[in-house]
Structure 1
């Protein structure tokens, strides 16, 4: 069986969604709830996401990570989560690089993290969705001078 998003299915058939589309907040709350089901579970952290090139970071995956917990959930897949990569999770949950970095990067916790800790970070991203400082920091990170520095690391 091939997994397809609702958008992909709409291209070949008329689809009545059984569940309405979740908002960004609902998707993040659902992810946090999944992580809170087993708060002591050890999850793999992503090594050095802030040092990866944009292309590498978007494709990054880590076995048994918080992103894998989200992708394993049929509800989030039905809502359009396509895989467990960093880039897809950033797109689907509408997170900035800094927000997703805070949730999955090893620099905060070491090689592994507790699922409950990751849930707290996910919930923190919910409350920061419109913060001016977060938007400004994200905009500065994409200035051409910083892209040049990022390519120099390659």
Structure 2
């Protein structure tokens, strides 16, 4: 069987996209994204410059080839589940992240021009429910164990 990109198929046939999208929970999407990043943990991925200083419309449109978001967008499962692009705004919507959470994964101010995939995966996992520990919980763990 030969595989073709959707764009290639559309040049020779009418391809309907009326099928229902697959569903994944937020946790499943974040876990899968982290796993995709961890497949090549030493891969250097591009960051986005000063996401926190952009107006929200400009920030939503930000993207970069070879970013952690691009890794997610390359995944056919995510595209079938509704990920429409590799832009900051689309990642925020699709993964249901706050600006602060996505900023920790993708922003230049934390990593410079590139971030390794393992580090990006670590920050993606921190956004999973139950992975965020408050200050009091961390202090308790430090002193009590």
Residues in 1 aligned to 2:42 and 2:131: alpha-carbon distance in whole angstroms: 27
Which residue pairs with 2:38 in the alignment? 36
Residues in 2 aligned to 1:124 and 1:88: alpha-carbon distance in whole angstroms: 19
User: Shift in Å at residue 127 of structure 1?
Assistant: 3.3
Residues in 2 aligned to 1:61 and 1:128: alpha-carbon distance in whole angstroms: 29
Q: CA RMSD in A?
A: 2.4
The answer to whether 1:82 aligns with 2:84 is yes
Residues in 1 aligned to 2:133 and 2:54: alpha-carbon distance in whole angstroms: 25
Q: Structure 2 length normalisation: TM-score?
A: 0.77
Residues in 1 aligned to 2:20 and 2:107: alpha-carbon distance in whole angstroms: 38
User: Shift in Å at residue 63 of structure 1?
Assistant: 1.1
**SS at 2:115 equivalent:** strand
Gaps of 5+ in 1: 3-7, 133-154
Residues in 1 aligned to 2:42 and 2:90: alpha-carbon distance in whole angstroms: 26
Residues in 2 aligned to 1:129 and 1:87: alpha-carbon distance in whole angstroms: 23
**SS at 1:40 equivalent:** coil
Gaps of 5+ in 2: 1-5, 8-15, 135-145
Query: In terms of Rg, which structure is larger?
Result: 2
Residues in 1 aligned to 2:51 and 2:85: alpha-carbon distance in whole angstroms: 18
The 4+ residue runs of structure 1 with deviation greater than 3 A are: 127-132
Where do residues 134-153 of structure 1 align in structure 2 (5 Å cutoff)?
none
Q: 1:64 to 1:131 in 2, by over 3 A?
A: same
**SS at 2:127 equivalent:** helix
Q: Structure 1 length normalisation: TM-score?
A: 0.72
Deviations 1:27-59 (A, max 9, x none): 000000000000000000111000111010000
Deviations 1:110-144 (A, max 9, x none): 11010000000000011368889xxxxxxxxxxxx
Where do residues 2-151 of structure 1 align in structure 2 (5 Å cutoff)?
9=17, 13=18, 15=19, 20-127=22-129
Aligned length: 122
Q: 1:39 to 1:107 in 2, by over 3 A?
A: same
